[in-house]
């Protein structure tokens, strides 16, 4: 059952991601527990942060770009507001305006929206340096 989420204000402060789970996870016991997800902040068409209160933020990276994600006012998830996700392979974000499922690649616990943005910027710099 899909749960609708409404946008929430982003928290301040920077930090690094401290937990990650994705399709390519090595250990079968890897999982992430999302707790009290009640809002979201969209970073770009492939990344968003689910907000689970003032101290829990989850960076979601989608498998592919989800067109016009930046303009969504309401989204839904394939999991409830509190869930343990062992592999996000079958999980998705549903965009209401486009009536589309955008499948999840990874979910990471981060300290804030700013920390998620910093982490993505660092990864982009690392990718650019490799090219």
Residue spans of the chain under pLDDT 70:
1-29
Of 73, 65, 70, give the one whose Cα is nearest residue 39: 73
Please choose, from the candidates 39, 117, 36, the residue with its C-alpha nearest in 3D space to the C-alpha of residue 76: 39
Our count of domains for the chain comes to 1
pLDDT at residue 26 in the model: 36
DSSP state of 97: T
- Given this model, what pLDDT does residue 67 score? 84
Q: How far apart are CA 33 and CA 37, in angstroms?
A: 11
Is the four-CA dihedral 22, 49, 82, 20 of positive or negative sign?
Answer: positive
Distance (Å, whole) CA 57 – CA 33: 11
Supply the pLDDT for residue 45.
93
- What range defines the domain where residue 119 resides? 3-130
């Amino acid at each position: 059952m899909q749960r609708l989420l409404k946008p929430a204000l982003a928290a301040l402060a920077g930090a690094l991601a401290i937990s990650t789970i994705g399709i390519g996870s090595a250990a079968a016991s890897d999982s992430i527990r999302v707790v009290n997800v009640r809002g979201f902040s969209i970073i770009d068409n492939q990344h968003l942060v689910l907000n689970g209160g003032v101290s829990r933020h989850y960076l979601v990276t989608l498998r592919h770009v989800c067109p016009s994600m930046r303009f969504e006012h309401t989204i839904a998830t394939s999991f409830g507001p509190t869930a343990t996700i062992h592999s996000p392979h079958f999980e998705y974000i549903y965009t209401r305006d486009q009536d589309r499922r955008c499948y999840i690649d990874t979910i990471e616990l981060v300290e804030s929206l700013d920390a998620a943005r910093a982490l993505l910027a660092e990864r982009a710099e690392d990718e650019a340096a490799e090219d």
